[in-house]
A and B are shown apart, each in its own frame.
Chain A
């Protein structure tokens, strides 16, 4: 099976004045469609840096990043946004919704970036919100919905354009236990029912049960022998790797 994201020998070093601060020290990782991978480790271990590099937001100092077979590290800065638009959806810790837009408009904005506008955008936005069971809040303001609902809107937004990869940075950090489980169940369904490759950076041990693999990081490296495969993802047909239509609601207990 082809991986959705492959990183090889990723090194990231930050330079602050005369100091050189290594954030990643040669990381290798494959993420496959249909699995949920948790990146765990103490603060400063490089989890978010790795996630940023996998998401083609941050450039590594050296190493290779492939997204669905596309070598991202050889692309220019201008060529990276289209890769993100086509292949990657992001879910952020702070939801990062646009507060002056309605719930529906937040999703439509992501569609607009992909050239989907007008009635088509509205229809698609409603469908995506229906998947996370928030189609009845289409016209609500983000300030009028709960934290869990905001994160589900963020997930619906991340699904705009049917990306094959979902990268989530601490998606449950601002949520209570029950709500966090609900969000993680949604992430789980994205992988197992819809064939997405889902990577979640988290400190939250409550979400372990939703993971297929846990990658432990420390001091910029994957700790030897600390990649746990908890479940073997079901075999995924090649057609689903390209991004199947998400046509049934995900569980949002």
Chain B
């Protein structure tokens, strides 16, 4: 087929620029909003997802990780006595106040764990080590929050709930959805920082023995333990994500923004492709008069839409790479898995082809006799 679609598309460079600008704006907006959605989702449940635990014991009716309520630590021994449990550790995630040397206070989330355990430990440690958390008053924070907490090197001393907190290490990329930084410390320090009594815990993390059926173990524990819920990691993760993304409306907001981006893209592309079609309407009339079936003309228009989608998507992804890269050092991560990038390509394609439907409708009803009228 002679390159009628491509030639017509590139013939009017200004209109092509407008079309591509619309597509780039739309795709970038969709990428950023969906990327934020994924980033937010991952961030909300990060502590749960990286816990290395198969099961979580939480107080009855806990809807998400930030809403844990204290329960007796004696439950830990019941858990340890249950067949199929390999490791079980007490765990705390609770809000507290961090006091900087200048006297300013910041809200933080204390994460209390057993430094020798494999469960619930900080990940992506870039300075210090997890084992350093067993030292007195030891805490570990993420690089992203250095400025916010005033902590920029190992050895600095701060105050949390009237107790010393000494920085022994830094992690990278552990964000808190609430923008309240996580502060990792030993379980005993966490009891002090969060003003809990020694016989209490907020969570129990459990690793099953190899070969144990997780659902069976979950059921066994649920039957043994009273006044608590036993959740798989996936279940607790999902609950936490759902609460923050949908119950609060945060997720809906970004999804609506993504949808708006899609609508903008469809409108802009529809308008420019329609204008291009009208500019070349006599050519389409000539094609019809010559005997071209409607499908031949549809192919021309859809080819134009497809070329626009491909070029616009490529340009948009270049812009998006910079945005994603730039967000890595910020409080909100834009995460774009490759599967999402591929999906957005097909969405861009669908967007442009849908936008072309207006033009397709126009040429469908085009009277070829118009070529005989002046």
Q: Which residues of A contact B (CB under 8 A)?
A: 48, 51-52, 55, 57-58, 78, 81-86, 88, 90, 92-94, 96, 98-101, 105-106, 108-110, 112-113, 117, 157, 169
Q: A48-B372, A81-B291 are in contact. Are A100 and B8 (CB under 8 A)?
A: yes
Q: How far is A98 from B296 in the complex, measured between Cα atoms in Å?
A: 15
Q: Which residue of B lies closest to A77 (CB)?
A: B294
User: Which chain A residues lie closer than 8 Å to B283 at the CB level?
Assistant: 96, 98
- Chain B, interface SS category: helix
Partner of A101, one of B2, B289, B290, B371: B2
- Chain A, interface SS category: helix
Partner of A52, one of B1, B3, B369: B369
Task: Map CB proximity to A onto B273-304 as digits: 1 under 8 Å, 0 otherwise.
Answer: 00000000011001111111100100000000
Counting contact residues on chain B (CB < 8 A from A), the size range is 20 to 34
Task: Map CB proximity to A onto B353-369 as digits: 1 under 8 Å, 0 otherwise.
Answer: 00000000000000011
Partner of A85, one of B3, B291, B371, B373: B291
Q: How far is A94 from B283 in the complex, measured between Cα atoms in Å?
A: 11
Whole-angstrom distance from the CB of B339 to the nearest CB of chain A?
Answer: 37
Q: Which residue of B lies closest to A56 (CB)?
A: B291
Whole-angstrom distance from the CB of A122 to the nearest CB of chain B?
Answer: 10
Query: Is B74 close to A, CB under 8 A?
Result: no
Q: How far is A83 from B7 in the complex, measured between Cα atoms in Å?
A: 29
User: Which chain A residues lie closer than 8 Å to B153 at the CB level?
Assistant: none
User: Which chain A residues lie closer than 8 Å to B373 at the CB level?
Assistant: 48
Q: How far is A113 from B287 in the complex, measured between Cα atoms in Å?
A: 9
Query: Is B319 close to A, CB under 8 A?
Result: no
Interface contacts beyond A93-B372, A113-B296: sample of 7 additional A-B pairs, CB < 8 Å, sorted by A: A78-B293, A81-B292, A84-B291, A88-B291, A96-B282, A96-B286, A113-B287
Query: Is B252 close to A, CB under 8 A?
Result: no
Partner of A108, one of B2, B291, B296: B2
Among B4, B7, B11, B286, the one with the most A-chain Cβ atoms within 10 Å of its Cβ is B286
Task: Map CB proximity to A onto B213-228 as digits: 1 under 8 Å, 0 otherwise.
Answer: 0000000000000000
User: Which chain B residues lie closer than 8 Å to A78 at the CB level?
Assistant: 293
Q: How far is A90 from B288 in the complex, measured between Cα atoms in Å?
A: 11
**B293→A109 contact, CB < 8 A:** no
Q: How far is A93 from B286 in the complex, measured between Cα atoms in Å?
A: 12
Partner of A110, one of B7, B290, B369: B290
Q: A101-B2, A113-B296 are in contact. Are A81 and B372 (CB under 8 A)?
A: no
Q: A100-B11, A113-B292 are in contact. Are A58 and B2 (CB under 8 A)?
A: no
User: Which chain A residues lie closer than 8 Å to B8 at the CB level?
Assistant: 100
Q: List 23 A-B contacts (CB under 8 A).
A: A57-B369, A57-B372, A78-B293, A81-B291, A81-B293, A82-B291, A83-B291, A84-B291, A92-B286, A92-B289, A94-B282, A94-B374, A96-B283, A96-B371, A98-B283, A98-B286, A99-B11, A100-B7, A105-B3, A109-B4, A109-B287, A113-B290, A169-B372
User: Which chain B residues lie closer than 8 Å to A48 at the CB level?
Assistant: 372-373
**B2→A109 contact, CB < 8 A:** yes
Q: How far is A51 from B369 in the complex, measured between Cα atoms in Å?
A: 10
User: Which chain B residues lie closer than 8 Å to A101 at the CB level?
Assistant: 2-4, 7
Q: Which residue of B lies closest to A52 (CB)?
A: B369
User: Which chain A residues lie closer than 8 Å to B289 at the CB level?
Assistant: 55, 57, 84, 90, 92
**B369→A58 contact, CB < 8 A:** yes
**A117→B369 contact, CB < 8 A:** no
